[in-house]
Each structure stands twice: as structure tokens, then as C-alpha cells.
Structure 1
């Protein structure tokens, strides 16, 4: 993949109206809940009728294909989702799936079918990946944040140069006893704030940086070959894209025996500070049966630390899917 760093920097500088359209702060999201999409009775009725003749939901989660499905109401719902994903806020929350008493496997299947109507399911972690605390700490071992309960830093999904989900989803099967709140921030707002307040840091964000090879399938990829900028335009997705998780950058540099340049570290500090600006951060708690889909190019996310219920089978469980969704509407 050839990356014209100067071209991306020039596009960001020249595309003020596009960035302004996609930029938001917490107050904007709180004032306009168009990102919240209730699942209509027609969609639920259609899905229940599908289940009646579909067979084992667990098997269909792994085998269902879009071409074999005739679910027009769900297809319409997916189009509404796509409009939100590539619209101003870059995310959408599906609500109302808990109204019919679906089993866990039936919830998972609905989520997979919705994902198939949106685009292609990417499978480095299989079609879906269970997000729960496995007792790890990503800060001391090469495991993804999804396998821990500690507070996550703001980031976008995937460290891989070859695999980039431009959309990902999270289905909540069980919330935590306490914590685990999802935090979102607009990458375009972050860029605009940096350009206005700290333009001296932008060159560091448009240069290549090593990324640790923790995405399944990248085990044999040399870290020096897994390098790309934090901000790009028309490279990994159409238009502006943020790709960032500082920890995996710093561990990658350490593995190749190098240190992050002091100027780059200062740029990362400033980037982190803008993403943590409380005026920029929108928080959202997922209830059981709710699913959020996020444009991974223009929205960075985070999660607060959480505490699980002590009873077996009540631990916090989310189901993640990585998607490649056509960019155009």
C-alpha cells in the first residue's frame, strides 16, 4: 500500500467543509438523538418468522450469507444504519431487540444478519468476537483491549496495515455490574482542534509509525512493514481516517529497538489530551439487547474500567463484529 503522506496532509488542510460536517462535540450528540434507531415491530415480526423456519441459530451465525436472505425490513433497517454511519455522527445505536424475549443465540444471529446486510464480515477474529474480561492486562502482554476489564485508551480498532474494518459493531448481551461505559469522540473534531490550537504537532501525525502486530494473521509480518500514519485521506477508507492506539505504537517501536521521537511523543500527548477533552467525549451505556455500530475511520472509542457480577454467567459480555461497509450512499 503506497501512502502519499503529503497528499493526506494537504487534503485535510483543504477539506474544511467536509471535516466541519463530520465534526461534533458532546453537546451536539446530546441535542440530536437521530443516532438512536428503534427496531420497528415489522423488523421484529419478520425476524421471528425467519427464526420459525431457519433451523439452529448457532449454526446460522457461522454460515448465513447475504445472498440467501430475503429480509426486506431488515435490509431497510441496514440502509438507515449506513446513512448514520456515513453521516454526521458516524455511529448508530439499535434499540428494542430485547422486547421479544430472544435467546442469546437469537440475539447474536440478528446481529450477524444485520451486519451481513451492512457489508462484508471480516474474520481475523472469526465472524464475531466475544468481548469479556479474560483476566489479562493489555499494558503488560500482547492481548487486545477486548480481553481485559481495565480502562481502555481512546483508539480505533485494528493495528493491521492489511486489515482495516471501516465499521465495527458491539452487541450487548450482558452489561457489567458497574462501569464499562462506551466513550466516543469525533476524529474530525479532534483534527480541527489540533489544526487550530497546535498545528506544530500535525507533521508527526501524518508520518508513518510502526504498529505492533497483534491482529490475528499478522504474526509473521515484520513490524517495520506494519507502519502507516495516524491521519490519512482516501487510503484505508474514503475520506478522512484516524488510526490510533498509542500503546501499540510504543510497543512496536520498542520491539524494533527504537524509541518514539520526542517531537512525536509530544504530538501523541497533545492528541490524547484533545481526545480526552470532556467537551468532546460522548458517553453511552449499552443495555442488554442493544447494539452500536461505529464508523471506525471517523470515530475513536474508549471504555471505562468495569466490575463484573460475582455470579457465574453474569459477567459483562459484548459481541464484536468487524465490517467492511461500502462507503458511498
Structure 2
């Protein structure tokens, strides 16, 4: 991708700003028509949302039709929206089953909590962050973050299926971590170094036997595939409180510097998901936010998304070897 600010320089396409991303048609991907009938039939026939487990033959046959999505996730903008199959009027359970099938063509679904849930409902339960809830079950703005920042394993991709949007608000926003790192390197190099050190991160109730209530994680690090972010500021602040180790002035300054860059309007892309849309993002180096929302009074119309966490080791290694 040519850098519009320096036409003669070719930059990493993962290091984008809002004006580099292009119109929605550039990252909204129609459901592959050659697969629509077969996968919709599978979804309709599923007795449970996670009832269809694809075998290796199916994955090998069907995954190439989603290669463009993986290219977006690994080598492009780091996100894509797969639109619902044209003309497929599916009830919520079948939409979720179809999403579960598509997720298996992009990676391996992983457990999202200590209860073993792999397909997680994101909707407002009336609880608050102050009561110990996660942002996913509130209507509060989530702030820029990566999912599972406290976990031992980094979640490669996060997915969201829109079943019902909110009455108002609930805007999806994304920022490139590569752009953020470059901005910090130029404006706050000391803070960037601090962000590579370990912070206490609250596990937010996701504690298994023998585990500490906090995990020590760097905010920004790298591996063979590139940048890795582990960030949700509230979890860090609560984590340090629980650990009895107040954030140092340098740590607070570093988090402030990061938030200032993350919240710059010219760096972010934002959009609303439509019913049936399947959104996927690279959770290693894109950071996402959901703005606060107001819900419908009718329970049947309230905001309801479904989340997937995917492991994609094969795709990552193919990208770097």
C-alpha cells in the first residue's frame, strides 16, 4: 500500500489510518455464493448453535472460498465483515449455527470462560462494571481493547455476529496497533518501552483452580508473526488494585499516552453492523471499541451479538514462513 502522506514510500498495509481503509465495500465481503446453499442447509439442520462440527475434508474443500477474509485478517486491514447470504431468511438459532460453521473455516473456536462456553452471547444484562461484570454484558462503552487480555494464550481472531442492533449507539470502532505503535515511537518512546513491561491484569472472574486473580502481561510485545497487544485499561487498573501494587507514575503516563493515540479520530474506522453481519478482526494487533448504547424496551428487539474467539496458528505460520 502506498502511503498517501509520502507517495514514494511503501508501508505495511496493516499500519492504516481511517483514510487508508477505503469505503465499506472494500472490507464488506458477500457470502460466497458457491457455498451459501450448502452451509445454510447445514445451519438449518443443526439442532444446536454449536451442533455442527466440520470434518477435515469439509474444511479443506470450503476454507479456500474464505481465503479473502483471511487475507484481510492477516495481511491487510486486520478486519472484515461477511454479509449474510443473500435471500436466506434464517431465524436467530440458524444464523448462529451458520456463524459457528463459518468460524470453523477461519480458525478453531476456543473456550471463552471458565464455564467452557465457545459461542458467547453479548447483550446487556443490567449489571455494571462496578459490580464486577465484563463490558460484554453491559451497555457501557467498552473503551479500546483486545479480547482476553489476561489469558495465557492470545486469541488470534475475535468474531461478532449481529442478531439485533441496539436502538441507538453501539457503534463499532477499530484502530490499527501498527499505526499506534509508530505514533508512540515518534511521540512517546519512553512510554512505548514501559508498555512492553508486565502489568497486572484482572482476570475478571475467569479464574481456574490454582490461578491468581490477576495475570502479569505486557501491553505491547511481539512474536514471529508481529505485534501483539493485550489491553483493556480498566482490567489493568483493577488488576493493580487487587495485587496491592499501585500503578507507578511511569505506568500511568504510558497508559495515558496509549489512550490518547487510540482515541484520535483520524486513526479509527467506525461502522454499524446489520442483522446477519459476521464481523471478524485480528485480535493480536487491532484494538476495538464499542460505544455506549440505548436498548429497545421490547425484550425481543434488544441488542444481541454473538462472539467467537478463534485460534489460527496455521494461518499465522503460513504468513511468516
Q: Is the 8 A contact 1:167 1:296 kept in 2?
A: yes
Q: Is the 8 A contact 1:124 1:217 kept in 2?
A: no
In the alignment, what sits opposite 2:221?
232
Deviation at 1:117, TM superposition (A): 1.3
In the alignment, what sits opposite 1:127?
118
TM-score calculated relative to the size of structure 2: 0.88
Q: Is the 8 A contact 1:180 1:306 kept in 2?
A: yes
Equivalenced residue count is 305
Deviation at 1:78, TM superposition (A): 2.7
SS in structure 1 of the partner of residue 225 of structure 2: coil
The yes-or-no answer on 1:47 pairing with 2:36 is no
The yes-or-no answer on 1:162 pairing with 2:152 is yes
Q: Which of 244, 266, 279 is the equivalent residue of 2:266? A: 279
Question: Where does 1:107-146 land on structure 2 (aligned, <5 Å)?
Answer: 107-125=95-113, 126-138=117-129, 140-146=130-136
Q: Is the 8 A contact 1:153 1:245 kept in 2?
A: yes
Q: Is the 8 A contact 1:211 1:248 kept in 2?
A: yes
Q: Which of 304, 308, 324 is the equivalent residue of 2:291? A: 304
SS in structure 2 of the partner of residue 322 of structure 1: strand
Q: Is the 8 A contact 1:46 1:71 kept in 2?
A: no
Q: Deviations over 1:55-96 (max 9, x none)?
A: 4x242x334222166377742333222111102200011113
In the alignment, what sits opposite 1:25?
17
Q: Deviations over 1:154-196 (max 9, x none)?
A: 0000132413211010000000110101010000100000101
Q: Is the 8 A contact 1:233 1:241 kept in 2?
A: yes
SS in structure 1 of the partner of residue 162 of structure 2: strand
Q: Deviations over 1:175-234 (max 9, x none)?
A: 01101010100001000001011212112101011110126344641146x102111111
Question: Where does 1:1-329 land on structure 2 (aligned, <5 Å)?
Answer: 20-31=12-23, 33-51=25-43, 55=45, 57-59=46-48, 61-67=49-55, 70=58, 74-97=62-85, 99-125=87-113, 126-138=117-129, 140-214=130-204, 216-218=206-208, 220-223=210-213, 226-234=215-223, 238-326=225-313, 327=316, 328-329=318-319
Deviation at 1:242, TM superposition (A): 1.1
Q: Is the 8 A contact 2:18 2:267 kept in 1?
A: yes
TM-score calculated relative to the size of structure 1: 0.86
- For structure 1, list consecutive stretches of 5 or more residues without a partner in the other structure: 1-16
Q: Is the 8 A contact 2:154 2:284 kept in 1?
A: no
Distance of aligned partners of 1:219 and 1:91 in 2 relative to their CA distance in 1, 3 Å threshold: farther
- For structure 2, list consecutive stretches of 5 or more residues without a partner in the other structure: 1-8
Root-mean-square deviation over aligned CA pairs: 2.2
